[in-house]
Structure formats: C-alpha cells, structure tokens
Amino acid sequence: MARLDSEEEAAEDRGHLYANGYLLVLGDAPVAKVGAEAQDGPKAGCLALNGGSPDGLEAPSGALAGPQTPLGLEEETQARLLPAGPGEGTPAAEDTPVPRIALSARRFAVLLTFSLYSLVNAFQWIQYSIIANVFEGFYGVSSLHIDWLSMVYMLAYVPLIFPATWLLDTRGLRLTALLGSGLNCLGAWVKCGSVQQHLFWVTMLGQCLCSVAQVFILGLPSRIASVWFGPKEVSTACATAVLGNQLGVAVGFLLPPVLVPNTQNNTNLLACNISTMFYGTSAVSTLLFILTIIAFKEKPQCPPSQAQAALRDSPPEDYSYKKSIRSLFKNLPFVLLLITYGIMTGAFYSVSTLLNQMILTHYQGEEVNAGRIGLTLVVAGMVGSIICGLWLDYTKTYKQTTLIVYILSFVGMVVFTLTLDLGHLLIVFVTGGALGFFMTGYLPLGFEFAVEITYPESEGTSSGLLNAAAQIFGILFTLAQGKLISDYGPLAGNIFLCAWIFVGIILTALIKSDLRRHSINIGIKNDIKALPVDSPTDQEPKAVMLSKQSESAI
C-alpha cells in the first residue's frame, strides 16, 4: 500500500476515494457487495484500483468463486479485529474513503522526547550508588540506607505495574507519558531541598517519586513503537526507546563522580557540588516535561501499519483490562517468554549490582576500573540493542534471534566467569563488554517478541509484565548471588547465574513463534504492487490483483 510522508499529505489525499488504495474482498463475496471500508487479515483479497467507481470494475471470471475457507484456531484473534462488512445486497458507500496508512513526521519527536526523559530517570536511579561513600559521609547514614535509594526503584515497580498498565490501556499514551515525565521532574526538584545533612528523608522522598515515575516509563517503548512507527522500523524504534534508559545508566556512571568529588573534609563545598548536580538534573527534567506536553500526542492521524488500522477498527467497548490480563496469562508462549525474560534481565541486574564486589575480590584497590567495566557493560549493551532492533526489522525472525542471543549470553556468562580470576583486567573488560552486548541486546528482543505473540493485547500490558518479572528475578538473583559471593566467592555466584540462564535457553526453545502482528501487517501488502490513478499507461481499469495469501484463502 502506498505510504504518505506526512499527516498533511494524508489529509489532502482523503478526497481521492481510491487513489493508490485497495478494495478488499473477503471470501467469496462479489465485488459489488464489498464496502469501501478496507478489510485486512490473512483471508482478505486485495484489489488494485486505478480510478473509477467500484461499479466500473470487473473481476476476472471465476476469480472470486469457490467456498469460503473457515478460520483456524490460530486466526481467531485476527478475525475478531476485522470490522463487519456491509450486509448482503447493500451497495458500497461511494463517499467513504479507503483507510490510508501513513507515517507521521512527529514520530521522531515523540521517540526522542521519551528517550531523553527516560535517560534522566535512569540517571537519577544510579546517581547515588556510584558515589555511595560520598553520600554516606554527607548524610551520616549507613551503606544500607544508600542502597535503599536504588532498591526503591525495583520495589516500587512490582505493586504499581498493574494500575500503571491499566491507566495506559484505558486513558492512553499521552497521559501516561505526562505522568512519567512529570513525576520524574517533581522528584528531581524535591531532591534540591535535601542538600542539608539532616534531610536524608527528603532525598528519599524525591527518589520515591522518581521510582514511581519509572513505572510509567519502562512499559512504553513497545507501545510507542507500535502506535507511531511502520512495520519496517518498529523494532528499531523500540530498541532506540530502550536505548535511552541504558544511556541514562551510562551517564550515571560518568557524571556524579565528576560533579561531586569526594571532599568530605569540606562539607560546604560538598553540599555545593551536590546542589549543582541536583539543580542541573531538575532543570533538564523540567525542559523535558515541557517538551513532552508539546510533542506527545495520543496517536498519529493515520495508522502507521495495517495492524494498527485493525486495532482502530475494533470497538473500544469490547476492551476489558481484566480480560486482557487473563488472556495474557492463558497464552502459554507469553508465559514462557515472561519467565525467560525475567531470568535474563534479572541476571543482568544482579551482575551490574554486584560487579564491584566481584572485581574487588580479585583486584584489590581497583574501584575506578570496576566502574569503568560497568560502563563498558552498559555501552556495549546499547550497541547490541540497536543492532538487534535493526536485525529484527530486516528479518522478522523473532524466535530464532531471541534464542541465538540467549545462547550467546550464556556463552558470554561462562567465559566471564572463567576469566574473572586470571589477573588481567583487560580480559575482564573484553568479556564484560561481550556479556553486556548480548544481555542488554536481549531487552528490545523480549519486548517486540511479546508484542508479536500477544497481539492485539496492549503492548503496555505485556511490556509491563515483562518488566515486573525482571524486577522480581533481579531482586531474588541479587540476594542469592550476593550470599554466594560472600560465603563462597564470585565463582559460585556466577555459576548460579549460568545454571539459570541455561534453563532460560530450554524454555525459549519451547516458545511457539506465532507472529500475529506481522501476519496482519503482511495480509494485504504481501507481493502487491499498486499503480497510481493517473498513471499514463493505465487509463482503463486493470484486472484484480490478489496477494498469494488471498489466493490460497480463496
């Protein structure tokens, strides 16, 4: 189907009823009885129209004859999305335009704005723990208190994920984005009032607000990608949105030690440096909140893909959040993906949290290099995310790619474990970077694979459940691996994670790859070429052109 470059062109083109469009035929319905509203799905035939009214078209003899093929069980989800056609004997409404699919230029502003405020939220998560000793001395608290400033992010997510996804599904993308950006901004400003040694509780309050903001942020990448981006760029867009959060962690490793050096012998200077970091974060958060108000819209004027067009045709009153949750947990492939995503991401969280302890066990006094290895882990993961997103858009091999990345993550974890105590930090840098490349590259793969096998359920709900599983496994793995490291050393803790990742490989291999969204998207576009109305070589109506999928259905 022809794709427009902007919303404005799409609006101008609405007056042309069949220009560059398609008239879809379901089953054995005659052409004259098919409404002008576009149908989609694997059973839809596609007519290339080159001007004139539907009455002026004549299908080849017998082209549409034959019994209608009944839908299979795996097609029930797609079938219930198809809008009801006109009744028998009802002529098509000549003044109804064929729904158009177009890409909006605003999608890049939406994606950039989200990625930036997600970056700031991730930065605020890590800004305390990377200079934990400085904040311990300034506030006069224990290391456990500082650890809670990071753990509150994970603890807040699990109980709040269900109300957050309900809000996303019932109130929409724009309100959820405003809440995420707004709470992130509010938390940053609350911290500005905590730059006194007796006000630790104020900085904890600000961090709690930021942790609540995270609940409205982590589930949005796949939703933004699906609602705003076309089929050939949706996975790359999701990876870019995830990239913003990863980049925030990387910046969190770099900036706080530079902005707040350890000057505990000069409390006033230390307070000034902390204040500089807090106010700078607040200023950036405020700017991004304003940009979110301006740039974020609920959805583009025209759907970017056939899958989104089908969802728009689905009556909103048919949606039930509880039914959606039940449907997801009855979906065995999704349940398996939920467990495997939790294992992989939880293992990454555990490695990132305990990396300092593992490095210092074998390399005394290398705190700075431990931080640099963590930075290498994150930066390599950012590259992995983008490459995996581009690969998915090019191949659409969701299960194969997910399984291969899972296996390579397992290999990377084994190599990292066996080389950690060799006494060469350079090797640890290399193996740590490889581990981060595959482990973090898995994040957008999990999101996009979940959307594919759960379509048409909400992307926000599936992504939210994946993140909740990641938080739960992350807490459990961190506690278990930390205990093993303290009692038996890093080798035992890493072997524990290797065993769990191997279990994840087996479960990933069992996932049935039912690409529902992709099937909808290719239902009317597969092997179809549309000719424009004003083509000089096609002044008379041409024969009906059917996609291979439609021919097999007929």
| CATH number, domain with residue 372 | 1.20.1250.20
Residue 537 pLDDT > 80, yes or no?
Answer: no
- Give the pLDDT of residue 206: 92
- Give the pLDDT of residue 114: 92
Residue 37 pLDDT > 60, yes or no?
Answer: no
> Is 341 found in the same domain as 299?
no
> Is 386 found in the same domain as 473?
yes
* Mean pLDDT of the region 5-32: 40
> Is 326 found in the same domain as 300?
no
> Is 443 found in the same domain as 329?
yes
Residue at a domain's end among 304, 329, 353: 304
Residue at a domain's end among 304, 335, 369: 304
Helix (H) or strand (E) holding 47: strand 44-48
Q: Can you tell me the distance from the alpha carbon of 220 to that of 173, in angstroms, rounded to the nearest whole number?
A: 8
Residue 237 pLDDT > 90, yes or no?
Answer: no
Residue at a domain's end among 247, 276, 304: 304
> Is 503 found in the same domain as 432?
yes
> Is 262 found in the same domain as 365?
no
Q: What percent of the chain has pLDDT over 70?
A: 71
Token readout for 72 is 């299979």
> Is 384 found in the same domain as 254?
no
> Is 440 found in the same domain as 340?
yes
Q: Can you tell me the distance from the alpha carbon of 38 to that of 31, in angstroms, rounded to the nearest whole number?
A: 13
- Ranking 252-266, 487-501, 534-548 by mean pLDDT, the lowest is 534-548
Q: Can you tell me the distance from the alpha carbon of 34 to that of 39, in angstroms, rounded to the nearest whole number?
A: 10
3 state DSSP class of 525 = coil
- Give the pLDDT of residue 151: 78
pLDDT tens across 62-79, in order?
A: 444 444 444 444 444 444
> Is 292 found in the same domain as 419?
no
- Give the pLDDT of residue 188: 94
> Is 383 found in the same domain as 234?
no
Q: Can you tell me the distance from the alpha carbon of 118 to that of 134, in angstroms, rounded to the nearest whole number?
A: 25
Decide if 96 is inside a domain. no
Residue 140 pLDDT > 90, yes or no?
Answer: no
Domain that holds residue 372: 321-521
Decide if 495 is inside a domain. yes
pLDDT tens across 371-426, in order?
A: 788 788 888 888 887 787 777 777 777 788 888 989 999 999 999 999 888 878 88
Residue 431 pLDDT > 60, yes or no?
Answer: yes
- Give the pLDDT of residue 57: 40
pLDDT tens across 438-448, in order?
A: 888 787 777 77
- Give the pLDDT of residue 65: 42
Residue 279 pLDDT > 50, yes or no?
Answer: yes
Query: Tokens 């005394």 sit at which residue?
Result: 364
pLDDT tens across 318-358, in order?
A: 556 677 778 788 888 889 989 999 999 889 888 877 777 78
8 A C-beta contact, residue 460 and residue 161 = no
Decide if 130 is inside a domain. yes
- Give the pLDDT of residue 318: 54
- Give the pLDDT of residue 391: 79
Decide if 64 is inside a domain. no
- The mean pLDDT of the chain is 73
- Give the pLDDT of residue 78: 42
Residues with Cβ within 8 Å of 368's Cβ and at least 6 positions away in sequence, in order, are: none
> Is 352 found in the same domain as 276?
no
- Give the pLDDT of residue 533: 33
**Terminal C-alpha separation, the chain:** 21
> Is 217 found in the same domain as 363?
no
Decide if 60 is inside a domain. no
Decide if 552 is inside a domain. no
pLDDT tens across 454-495, in order?
A: 776 766 677 778 888 888 898 888 888 888 888 888 888 899
pLDDT tens across 290-323, in order?
A: 999 998 888 888 888 777 777 776 655 555 667 7
455 DSSP assignment: T
Dmax (CA) for the chain in angstroms is 92
What's the pLDDT band for 523 if we cut at 50, 70, 90? Answer: low
525 vs 150, residue with greater confidence = 150
Decide if 12 is inside a domain. no
> Domain total for the chain?
2
Given the DSSP bridges, would you call strands 22-26 and 44-48 parallel, antiparallel or unpaired?
A: antiparallel
Decide if 32 is inside a domain. no
- Give the pLDDT of residue 319: 58
542 vs 471, residue with greater confidence = 471
Q: Which of 114, 104, 31 is nearest to 308 (CA)?
A: 104
- Give the pLDDT of residue 478: 82
What's the pLDDT band for 46 if we cut at 50, 70, 90? Answer: very low
Q: What percent of the chain has pLDDT over 90?
A: 17
Query: Tokens 């998560």 sit at which residue?
Result: 125
Residue 232 pLDDT > 70, yes or no?
Answer: yes
466 vs 503, residue with greater confidence = 503
